């Protein structure tokens, strides 16, 4: 969000680069389980944390110092993930049909929702972070309010 870094992810590798020079700041090579699952990258609103990962795990980087410091690896079943625009929640949309809201201070699940609509494939938040939408494997959209 602050424009200091650019990030990219593909099947096996994540890279974080300095936006002004293109120079490499951090690279993570995925453990070779050879599953071709899509990856995600999301920055917190304050640009202090970068989350990235593939189905089954996500990683956290502290980018607040201008040079990345690896943080924890979190095991989780998900197909998409993102910080809420207010940065007080991190969400995962799971193949098990659950949307989980994580507390970024502890990286424990704060709340989870099961709308009984089957596997979730994608998620997005409104610009103000008060609501969002999840996509389902059968092509439906589920709208939700983010409760405080």
Question: Which DSSP string do the residues of the chain spell out, in sequence order?
Answer: --SSEEEEE-SSEEEEEETTT--EEEEEEPPS------EEEEE-TTSSEEEEEETEEEEEEE-TTSS-EEEEEEEE--SEEEE-TTSS-EEEE-TTSEEEEEETTTTEEEEEEE-SS--EEEEEE-TTSSEEEEEETTS-EEEEE---
Is the pLDDT higher at 148 or at 17? 17
pLDDT of residue 135: 96
Please give the Cα distance from 39 to 109 (Å, whole number).
20
* Range from 15-29, 81-95, 124-138 carrying the lowest mean pLDDT: 81-95
Please give the Cα distance from 48 to 3 (Å, whole number).
12
Using one digit for the tens of pLDDT, what is the confidence trace for 35-91?
Answer: 656 788 988 888 888 888 887 788 888 888 766 666 777 777 788 899 988 767 899
pLDDT of residue 33: 61
In whole numbers, what is the pLDDT of the chain averaged over residues?
86
pLDDT of residue 10: 86
Query: Average pLDDT of 85-113?
Result: 88
Is the pLDDT higher at 70 or at 2? 2
Would you state the structure tokens that stand for residue 77, as one six-digit string? Answer: 């079943």
Query: Average pLDDT of 96-119?
Result: 91
Please give the Cα distance from 23 to 29 (Å, whole number).
17
């Amino acid at each position: 969000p602050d424009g200091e870094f650019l990030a990219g992810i593909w099947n096996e590798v994540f890279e974080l680069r300095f936006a002004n020079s293109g120079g490499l700041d951090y690279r993570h090579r995925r453990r070779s389980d050879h599953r071709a699952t899509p990856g995600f990258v999301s920055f917190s609103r304050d640009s202090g944390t970068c989350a990235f990962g593939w189905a089954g795990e996500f990683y956290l980087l502290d980018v607040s110092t201008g040079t990345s410091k690896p943080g924890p690896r979190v095991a989780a079943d998900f197909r998409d993930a993102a910080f809420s625009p207010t940065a007080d929640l991190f969400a995962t949309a799971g193949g098990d049909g659950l949307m989980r809201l994580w507390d970024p201070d502890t990286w424990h699940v704060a709340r989870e929702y099961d709308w009984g609509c089957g596997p979730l494939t994608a998620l997005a938040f409104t610009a103000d972070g008060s609501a969002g939408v999840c996509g389902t494997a059968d092509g439906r959209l589920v709208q939700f309010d983010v409760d405080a």
